[in-house]
């Protein structure tokens, strides 16, 4: 079952549409709050949206969004949207820290040669092995706990944030955190 997004965060609002396209109707670049899906939204006539604004995009009557145009192609993301996206991800990772700690506690090998942890930026075989050994003794409780118990690894919070950005901005063979 796929979960439908109920809310999205506006990353950028282009009042006159995309500069190089013929239409000049407003469009918003947004990210789904729960699935981290990049979307193009068409606002209702007369509605102005602001960056970082949370808007309802669920099945019921929407007050500010006329319709969801579709997925936002990565290459169309504006620089403002990329900046807002980075801030959104930092907040989302902090708010859902427990979910990401669960990933460190429960991650599995993808195949005989690759472990999910190795997909995190800066994590190689050695770091992955150290994390696996540390979690065997006791599950991790926070990003701080991981940093304290596995000294040599890169900042786990930053690694998760970077991985989410990579998954959103460029094609990945395996996605850990995004659809």
pLDDT digits (tens, 9 = 90+) for 83-129: 999 999 999 999 999 999 999 999 999 999 999 999 999 999 999 99
Residue with tokens 């190089």: 20
Is a pLDDT exceeding 50 seen at residue 35?
A: yes
Q: Are residues 65 and 104 in the same domain?
A: no
Question: Is residue 84 assigned to a domain?
Answer: no
CATH number at residue 138: 1.10.150.280
Query: Does 122 share its domain with 164?
Result: yes
Mean pLDDT over residues 25-36, rounded? 94
pLDDT above 80: residue 11: yes
Percentage of residues in the chain having pLDDT higher than 70: 98
Q: Mean pLDDT in the chain?
A: 94
The residue among 23, 44, 78 that closes a domain is 78
Instruction: Clarify whether residues 72 and 102 are in a common domain.
Output: no
* pLDDT band (50, 70, 90) for residue 4: confident
Residues 71 and 132 occupy one common structural domain: no
- For residue 20, the model assigns a pLDDT of 82
Q: Tokens 């040669």, residue? A: 113
Q: Which of 19, 50, 78 is the last residue of a domain?
A: 78
Please state the rounded mean pLDDT for residues 117-144. Answer: 96
- DSSP letters spanning the chain: -PPPPSEEEEEEEETT--TTSS----EEEEEETTT--EEEEEEPTT----TT-EEE-SSS--SSEEEEEEE--GGG--HHHHHHHHHHHHHHHHHTHHHHHHHHHH--BSSSS-BGGGGSTT--HHHHHHHHHHHHHS---SHHHHHHHSTTS--HHHHHHHHHHHHHHS--SS-SS--
Q: How many domains, the chain?
A: 2
In this model, does residue 1 exceed pLDDT 70?
A: no
Instruction: Answer whether residue 147 is part of any domain.
Output: yes
Q: Of 50, 78, 106, which residue sits at a domain end?
A: 78
| 26 located within any domain | yes
Query: Do 114 and 165 belong to one domain?
Result: yes
Please state, in angstroms and rounded to a whole number, the distance separating the CA atoms of residues 170 and 150.
Answer: 29
In a domain, 1, yes or no: no
Residues 103 and 163 in one domain: yes
What's the pLDDT score for residue 38? 96
Whether residues 73 and 130 fall in one domain: no
- Count the neighbouring beta carbons within 10 Å of the beta carbon of residue 65: 21
pLDDT in tens, 58-73: 999 999 999 999 999 9
Domain membership flag for residue 165? yes
Q: What phi and psi values does residue 50 have, to the nearest 5 degrees?
A: -120, 155
Q: Give the CATH number, domain containing residue 22.
A: 2.40.50.140
- Regarding whether 156 and 116 lie in a shared domain, the answer is yes
Average pLDDT of span 51-61: 95
Give the structural domain span for 47: 7-78
Q: Are residues 24 and 65 in the same domain?
A: yes
Is residue 115 included in any domain, yes or no? yes
* CA–CA distance, 88 with 17 (Å, rounded to integer): 23
Flag whether 37 is in a domain.
yes
């Amino acid at each position: 079952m796929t979960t439908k997004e109920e809310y999205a965060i506006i990353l950028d609002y282009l009042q006159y549409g995309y500069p190089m396209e013929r239409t000049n109707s407003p469009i918003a670049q947004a990210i789904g709050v729960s699935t981290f899906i990049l979307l193009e939204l068409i606002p209702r006539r007369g509605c102005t949206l602001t960056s970082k604004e949370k808007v309802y995009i669920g099945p019921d009557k929407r007050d500010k969004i006329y319709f969801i145009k579709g997925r936002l192609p990565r290459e169309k993301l504006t620089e403002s949207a990329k900046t807002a996206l980075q801030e959104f991800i930092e907040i989302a990772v902090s708010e859902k820290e427990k979910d990401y700690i669960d990933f460190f506690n429960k991650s599995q090998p993808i195949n005989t040669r690759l472990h999910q942890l190795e997909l995190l930026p800066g994590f190689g075989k050695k770091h992955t092995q150290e994390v696996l050994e540390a979690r065997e003794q006791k599950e991790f409780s926070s990003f701080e706990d991981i940093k304290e118990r596995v000294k040599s690894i890169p900042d786990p919070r930053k690694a998760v944030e970077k991985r989410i950005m990579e998954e959103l901005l460029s094609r990945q063979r395996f996605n850990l955190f995004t659809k």
